[in-house]
Amino acid sequence: MMKVFCGRVNPTTGSVDWLEEDEHYDYHQEIARSSYADMLHDKDRNQKYYQGIRAAVQRVKERGQEAIVLDIGTGTGLLSMMAATAGADFCYAIEVFKPMAEAAVRIIQANGLSDKIKVINKHSTEVTVGSDGDMKQRANILITELFDTELIGEGALPSYEHAQRNLMQGRWEAVPHRATVYAQLVESRRMWGWNKLFPLQMDSVDIRPPLAMQSCPGTLSVCDVQLGQMSPSDFTKLSDILCVFRVDFSQQVNSYAVSHPVHFTPIASGAAQVILSWWDIDMDPEGKITCSMKPSWMYPASQSVPWRDHWMQCVYFLPEERPVKEGEELCLTGHQDDYCVWYTLTEPRKVSELDQVPLDRPACQCGAHITWNRTRFGELNDQHRMELYRDALRKIFTVESSSMSQHLMEKLFQTNELGDKIQVLQKSPAGITAADLHDKKISALIGEPFFTTSLLPWHNLYFWYSRTALSDRLTRDFTVLPLRASLYVLAVEFKDLWRIRSPCGICEGFDVSIMDEMIKDSLNFRESQEAEPHPLWEYPCRALSDPTKVMTFDFREPVPTEDMKSEGSFNLVRSGESHGVVLWMEYQLTEDISLSTGLLCASEEVGECQWYPHSKQGVYFFSSVLDPQSAPTHGFKSVTYLLTFDPKLGDIRMCFTQVS
């Protein structure tokens, strides 16, 4: 088997590691971390697509035509199989990802539909039509699932535009038939704190962000979240739900930039800051078959809410906060180009042709929105967290190897007149010399710790490696903050998140177990023995065990040269379906002040968990989720664990086993 060397930045140690990988490593990564299983488990989506496809085939047949289907981005081939079963005469299923196209061929063959479906392993813009082409004739039914949470972020509009011009007949049916984008203006300090840095209250003094940071519009990238998990107290609605724009897929789509002004009257007074947005797709022209992405709080109490993670809801940030008054007319404009959507709020004016020309895409001008992600902004705006650090701090020293971060730090210090008291060293810890420290030793070493490269909780142990690199620069009785970090684990029952890793088997009557096996094989390649990062405040779960400390990293000592191992077990204290283990770090700032980046509390009665919202936790799914036939998810009494921290790689190998 061919091997390749891959250079990767180790998020814990900061070094570039050259690893020997199987030539199919990237393919396995793509499959293992894909959303294919999530989509296949989305019964609401699947049923609505099937209904829409049946109706489209029927409309074409009623016109006396053959039903020729073009399915762009076929994935498993599910939608093409639906079309073939619904009576389509032939289907062209396009899939650009080669391993997925090969899987689609096998799945279609396993379901006995190979004579009705041709899989084309190309990008749709490369497909040819003609006697010697990929397609023998143009299609008259266009089926796609090219959407992301933002609707158009995966390039749906250019793909539609090309296909309609080059691969479709003069009249066609489309499934979905149309999409509608909705928006609601809200005031929300919590969400606004994902985009703006607030003044930090420190006793009688406020630490203020630079003016450039306060006025910066931020980046264009959409913030996608499970809005249903936001508390009603987290935002105030300032407008009704507004229809911003529609896209009719049965007509020629254009991907050029356009703006959509919507006049409205605020329903409350407040500070306009954030736009909540989602979309619906109508599968038929009459709008009787609708698949909605609306948040759960919009559903009647009597109606079940479909769960999906591949499509969520969007949070957009206005370029600047502005006050609005109830009853005074305003204009919310949704700007849209071929890949992005953004919003501006203005005084009402007569709609003209100028309104149809979008403003330039907003771009970060201060550097903070490029350097920090949104959870980092939220973390810095967490007053309680900062108060813990304030109580623990005594002296300040700053080392920053990132030039962008150094620039931000210097701006903050200058704004708050601290430039002469704090010096930023733009060096890695290992590169700091005695001259940099004016021939003095470091008596206090502090860190949050936070690093932009971190994905999993223990990746922030980069702080430990930094401390180790500075060993020769430390005084004998130096103080370090935090003192130590501890890794905690907790067995949980997820309400829905388990679905992303659970095999589907039969989907709307079609056998897709070949896809299940592909995902399982790719997970077994490596990922089934690893944790994956998830922001668990968005995903409800119940604690089935008490939190257990399984490993401690003492920052007063250097990183060890040998592996650190931890082995043991913990009992399940509540009944339920045991889906996996959550892992997080707790930092001991001082002997009596600690900060958790994971579980904040769990209710005594049922174990409902509240999670730290400003970082992702690690999730290790049990084999019973990945392979339900191997073992049931219930009936277990305890969990055994074996954890190994490899100081050379800065990562943790882990194995958790359920015990009856």
CA distances from 523 to 29, 33, 504, 560, 621 (A): 8, 8, 15, 30, 11
Q: How far is CA 248 from the centre of its chain?
A: 28
Q: How far is CA 618 from CA 456, 532, 652, 659, in A?
A: 6, 5, 11, 21
User: Residue 435, Cβ neighbours under 10 Å: how many?
Assistant: 7
Structure tokens at 572: 């399940």
Task: Give residue for tokens 């609505």.
Answer: 48
Based on the residue annotation, tell me whether 145 is a catalytic residue of this protein: yes
Active site residue 562: no
DSSP 361: P
Within 10 Å of residue 337's Cβ, how many Cβ atoms? 18
With beta carbons less than 8 A apart as the criterion, state whether 515 and 74 touch.
no
CA 365 vs CA 83, 213, 371, 604: distances in Å: 49, 8, 12, 47
Taking each helix axis from N to C end, the angle separating 78-85 and 98-110, rounded to the nearest 10 degrees, works out to 30
Report the distance separating Cα 156 and Cα 152, nearest Å.
Answer: 5
Phi, psi torsion values for 25, nearest 5 degrees = -60, -50
Instruction: Please give the C-alpha separations between residue 388 and each of 202, 223, 396, 481, 487, in angstroms, as whole numbers.
Output: 11, 28, 15, 12, 20
Please give the structure tokens belonging to residue 354.
């100028």
Amino acid identity at 348:
P
Q: Are 71 and 137 in contact (CB under 8 A)?
A: no
Cβ contact 474:445 at 8 Å? yes
Q: Which of these, 637, 642, 628, lies nearest to 491 by C-alpha position?
A: 637
8 Å CB contact between 365 and 182: no
Q: What's the rounded Cα separation, in Å, for the pair 311 and 243?
A: 19
What pairs with residue 548 in β-bridges? 489
Per annotation, catalytic residue among 145, 379, 410, 577: 145
Place of tokens 């019973």: 624
Query: Is 399 strand, coil or helix?
Result: strand
Measured distance between the N- and C-terminal CA atoms of the chain, rounded to whole angstroms? 39
Q: What is the DSSP secondary-structure string of 262-330?
A: EEE--SS-EEEEEEEEEEEEESSTTS-SEEE---GGGS-TTSPPPP-SSS-EEEEEEEEEEEE-TT--E
Specify the 3-state DSSP secondary structure of 456: coil
Strand 205-207 to strand 200-202: parallel, antiparallel, or no bridges (unpaired)?
antiparallel
- The catalytic residue among 21, 30, 154, 321 is 154
Backbone angles phi, psi at 37, to 5 degrees: -65, -40
Handedness of CA 47, 48, 52, 53 (dihedral sign): negative
Residue 23: strand, helix, or coil: coil
Q: Which amino acid is at 402?
A: S
CB burial class (10 A; 0-12, 13-18, 19+) of residue 450?
middle
Quote the radius of gyration of the chain (alpha carbons, Å). Answer: 27
Residues marked active site are found at 145, 154
